[in-house]
Amino acid sequence: MRLLHTMLRTGDLDRSIDFYTQVLGMKLLRRKDYPEGKFTLAFIGYGNESDNTVIELTYNWGVDKYETGTGYGHIALEVDDVYAACEAIKQKGGKIIREAGPMNAGTTIIAFVADPDGYYIELIGKRH
């Protein structure tokens, strides 16, 4: 078994694709409309789906907002330098929720950013 993808619902698919590709550097791997079901799926990630876990963005036609709820936590991305990643994200219009710094009760450098729908993404410094 292997983890294939994580699905997030989005209120504006193009806005979300732009955030994940332009701000976080992922690639749009595929996109398909399902007219009978009135939804569109887009798969994004850092590499091909056959070798990498990706994110599935689901847009249900006519729904422009979702509540993230209390059960959702975050997606985690490893980065070489959390401070530099935060600065680059800010310069591209991304929203930093927690600035880079040591995690609570630890030494690992982390930060949090929010995507356009309010989903949190944790940036974790690469361990050397």
Q: Which residues are catalytic?
A: 122
Tokens of 73: 């936590």
Which pairs from 104-110 meet CB under 8 Å and 24+ separation?
109/82, 109/83, 110/82
